[in-house]
Structure 1
Amino acid sequence: LYLSMAEDKSRKGEIDSPIRDMIDEINIDPKMSTTSSCSGRIVVYQKLENIRKTNCNWLLVLHEPINLEQLQDSLRNVTTGGIVFAKFEPFILHCQCADMETARCLLICGLNSGFRESGIVVGKNDRFTVAIRSSQIMEVPLTNNSGKVIVPDEYLDQLVSLLNQRMQVTAERRDKFLTEFRNRFRSSKEQLEYSVQ
């Protein structure tokens, strides 16, 4: 069964730039196909009253470290009628595998890299989907329901540090995952070729 020609169906319609090369490398394997992914992101959003979270007001989305000025600027765009949250979402990858052994090996790559919430789901027609993920999610409110900021700048400054620490950890785990992947699924010659790119 060959899966590598399938299209990654990540929500925003394209692969996040920090993991584009990784996704391309995984999809070279004919027994694997990524179905969704996120490199890890920092989000500031307003949860509007009486509206589903999927339709909330996105104020800032970053797949890289944030600074205090960016966070403060995002809060200036707040409207009334909903609480503003800052949220960190770690790296996540869903990959469909052609057989259980391939899925098992990919799962081990994730577990060995610190993604301890990873697992395998068996679907119809014996399709095996591996979810590589961790429990790094952090979410905190920044305003009251009227959109007024309820925390001091000192708090925002500390929050920036915490968000960036989590972004750094998820980046390190991603790098380790790619190394584990290459060790298990690539020959020595292929590993050398990738290392000099």
Structure 2
Amino acid sequence: MAAFARRKAQRLARPDPSRKRALDARAAELVRLLNARERFCSASSCDGRVVVMDTNGTGIQKKNCTWLLVTHDPCVKGDVMAALKKATGDVVFKFEPFVLHVLCQELQDAQLLHSVAIDSGFRNSGITVGRGGKITMAVRSTHCLEVPLSHKGRLMVSEEYIEFLVHVANQKMEENIRRIDRFHKGLERALEAADTLQKLCVPADTLFPEGPEKSHSVYVRRRKRWTAQKQAEPSRELEPHDDTESSLGLFTEIMI
């Protein structure tokens, strides 16, 4: 516990490494909520963005790219067209959804976050255990978008297609915002339930009474069921409330 607290203090004391040296607005409340708990420490975050970048013929590697447009809000075709006027190489239009990396003191803490993330629609989320036992929970989604627009400075698509891409990206941004909101609300409920259990002196492993291996199998079953439903109804995106095996129900059962 002391080692985690020391690592957390060191990390939070560092300057923000992002380009704008500050948290994104939508991620800020989540980061503050987690960092206020001794068992969690934010590592990195991005609340979702539309990016137009010139890869300069070097491939899509951010350190070698020229960023022509970056916005964390819905954009319009005019913004993209203005950015393209500055292009000299291969330009890519991207939508990158919300991502959050959190260091966790114990595996059960990461499992709590993972459950909330999956139920909120962030179905590419996962837990890693690194050297020295460092536990990291990554909140990730799959609704990305990446489309090439120009090659060697020459526009390869029509303005009509760019307008269509902007529309699709804005739809993804709106869904991204809804998922962040669901995750924030779900996390608040889960943390409150965990705090209540702690006050009642209920062992922490009550959150996952069957152990991490059994809990992991719950995630596997949930993902398989979601995949099967997606295949059965390809035109319908499964929403988190369709998942009847919600982990938050576990907290309710414990409280009862």
* TM-score normalised according to structure 1 size: 0.87
Q: How does 1:37-48 map to 2 (within 5 A)?
A: 37-48=45-56
Q: Give the equivalent residue in structure 1 for 2:111.
A: 104
Q: Give the equivalent residue in structure 2 for 1:72.
A: 81
Opposite residue 14 of structure 1, the aligned amino acid is A
Opposite residue 35 of structure 1, the aligned amino acid is A
Q: Give the equivalent residue in structure 2 for 1:142.
A: 149
1:83 CA drift (Å): 1.0
Q: Give the equivalent residue in structure 1 for 2:157.
A: 151
* RMSD (Å) for aligned C-alpha atoms: 2.2
Distance 2:32 2:17 in 1: 14
Q: Give the equivalent residue in structure 2 for 1:132.
A: 139
Opposite residue 85 of structure 2, the aligned amino acid is R
Distance 1:181 1:104 in 2: 12
1:169 CA drift (Å): 0.9
Q: Of 123, 146, 157, which aligns to 1:116?
A: 123
Contact 1:99 1:126 in 2 (8 A): no
Q: Where does the alignment leave 5 or more consecutive residues of structure 1 unmatched?
A: 190-197
Distance 1:131 1:10 in 2: 18
Distance 2:58 2:193 in 1: 54
Q: Give the equivalent residue in structure 1 for 2:202.
A: none
Opposite residue 144 of structure 1, the aligned amino acid is H
Contact 1:10 1:35 in 2 (8 A): no
| Residues 101 and 57 (structure 1), Cα distance of their counterparts in 2 relative to 1, 3 Å cut | same
SS in 1 for 2:23: coil
Q: How does 1:87-98 map to 2 (within 5 A)?
A: 87-98=94-105
Q: Where does the alignment leave 5 or more consecutive residues of structure 2 unmatched?
A: 196-256
Q: Give the equivalent residue in structure 2 for 1:193.
A: none
1:52 CA drift (Å): 7.1
Q: Give the equivalent residue in structure 1 for 2:238.
A: none
Contact 2:58 2:64 in 1 (8 A): no
Distance 1:115 1:188 in 2: 21
1:14 CA drift (Å): 2.1
Q: Give the equivalent residue in structure 1 for 2:171.
A: 165
| 1:56 matched to 2:42 | no
Q: How does 1:10-49 map to 2 (within 5 A)?
A: 11-12=18-19, 13-49=21-57
Distance 1:21 1:52 in 2: 31
Distance 1:32 1:188 in 2: 13
Per-residue Cα deviation, 1:129-157 (whole angstroms, up to 9, x for no partner): 00000111211111122x12121121111
Opposite residue 64 of structure 2, the aligned amino acid is N
Q: Which has the larger radius of gyration?
A: 2
Q: Give the equivalent residue in structure 2 for 1:195.
A: none
Higher RCO (CA-CA < 8 Å; seq separation 6+): 1
Contact 1:10 1:37 in 2 (8 A): no
Distance 1:28 1:176 in 2: 20
Distance 1:165 1:42 in 2: 11
Structure whose residues are more often strand by fraction: 1
Opposite residue 96 of structure 1, the aligned amino acid is L
* TM-score normalised according to structure 2 size: 0.68
Opposite residue 178 of structure 1, the aligned amino acid is H
1:68 CA drift (Å): 1.2
| 1:178 matched to 2:184 | yes
